[in-house]
Amino acid sequence: MLRVGLVGLDMSHAVAFTEMLNGGQVPGARVTAAWAGGSPDVPLCWSRVEQYTRTVREQWQVPIMNTPAEVAETADVVLLTATDGRVHRALVEQLAPQRKPIFVGKPIALSLADTEAIFDVADTHGTVLMSSSALRFHEMMTRVQAGSQPALGCDVFGPGYREPTQPGFFWYGIHCVEMAVAVMGVGCVEANVMSSDGSDLISLRWGDGRMASIRQTRGGSATFGITVHRAAGPAYADTTQSQTPTALNLLRAIVTELGQDRSPVPKEQTLEIVQIIEAANRSLADGRPVRISR
């Protein structure tokens, strides 16, 4: 039985993961320890952490530890499910010395410098680390990623809600950027953002001339989707079409891959996603295209 520890009980995935694992939807793994956490200046954190902690402790009989390190000591895999990207670096620094594989929820961090530092401390201790949006493992996304021909370009859409403590596109935008990088790969060299009160349009250009667009809206549908363009024609992924919960597909990837000391998400792609968002945030602020150094 793979022992899973949760660090941060202020993200809905923390409760969903516990229900799926301890409810038997992913055989061979179980949540055995958790640490509550929560950031007092992020409403979604402090308003949910008490309720989620009570659910995990009372409904699923998971012991609540005093520190993140205590969780890692008793677990085989650690899921860092704290919502606030600002605290992830400090938490990984506490967890990595235990040398247990770590999944870091989105956003992994709010800067490229912190993201590189997170991977550096994990590498120093020989700790396998993975970070990903659940949308990468949505069954429709995995189908369009599996095309035999390379992607010539893609068009992504999704909600564009903002959280003041997670600047610009690090909140909801990171999911759309991850979908684009998952099918396009690394090599983006420019980000250009057009924005209005209700929407954002991000244009991305790769060094080989391929392009991607990301359209985000506020106040409309909260669904995500992507059209991938290939020589044989377009392939479309609608995330409302699914036979299984998206969080379940992510959890299966964590258990089967990270549980075996492997990350199914390339480190280079995670770094690229953060680099693109930093450039897009600068473009949003300055109203001009921003080059991404390679």
Beta-sheet strand order (sheet of 77-80): 29-35, 2-7, 77-80, 102-104, 129-131
Q: Is there a domain that residue 253 lies in?
A: no
Q: Report the pLDDT value the prediction gives residue 167, as an integer from 0 to 100.
A: 94
Residues of the chain with pLDDT below 50 are: none
Q: Is residue 192 located within the same domain as residue 106?
A: no
Q: Is residue 39 located within the same domain as residue 95?
A: yes
Check if the beta carbon of residue 144 is closer than 8 Å to that of residue 238: no
| CATH (domain of 38) | 3.40.50.720
Cα 203 to Cα 21: distance, rounded to the nearest angstrom: 39
The sign one gets for the Cα dihedral 260, 131, 23, 18 is positive
Where does a domain end: 105, 131, 157? 131
Q: Is residue 61 located within the same domain as residue 141?
A: no
Q: Report the pLDDT value the prediction gives residue 48, as an integer from 0 to 100.
A: 87
Cα 267 to Cα 259: distance, rounded to the nearest angstrom: 17
Residue 52 CA: distances (Å) to CA of 6, 63, 102, 265, 278: 12, 13, 21, 28, 31
215 phi and psi angles, rounded to 5 deg: -110, 125
Q: Report the pLDDT value the prediction gives residue 152, as an integer from 0 to 100.
A: 97
Q: Is there a domain that residue 267 lies in?
A: no
Q: Is there a domain that residue 78 lies in?
A: yes
pTM over 0.75: yes
SS3 per residue for the chain = CEEEEEECCCCHHHHHHHHHHHCCCCCCEEEEEEECCCCCCCHHHHCCHHHHHHHHHHHCCCCECCCHHHHHHHCCEEEECCCCHHHHHHHHHHHHHHCCCEEECCCCCCCHHHHHHHHHHHHHCCCCEEECCHHHHCHHHHHHHCCCCCCCEEEEEEECCCECCECHHHCCHHHHHHHHHHHHCCCEEEEEEEECCCEEEEEEEECCCCEEEEEEECCCCCCCEEEEEECCEEEEEECCCCCCCHHHHHHHHHHHCHHHCCCCCCHHHHHHHHHHHHHHHHHHHHCCCEECCC
Q: Is residue 39 located within the same domain as residue 81?
A: yes
Which amino acid does the sequence have at 64?
Answer: I
CA 209 to chain centre: 27
Show the domain range for 191.
Answer: 135-243+274-291
Where does a domain end: 131, 157, 177? 131
Beta-bridge partner residues of 220: none
Domain count, the chain: 2
Q: Is residue 126 located within the same domain as residue 159?
A: no
Nearest to 130 by CA among 272, 275, 262, 273: 262
218-234 residue pLDDT tens? 987 789 999 999 999 99
Where does a domain end: 97, 131, 165? 131
Q: Beta strands 188-195 and 290-291: pairing type?
A: antiparallel
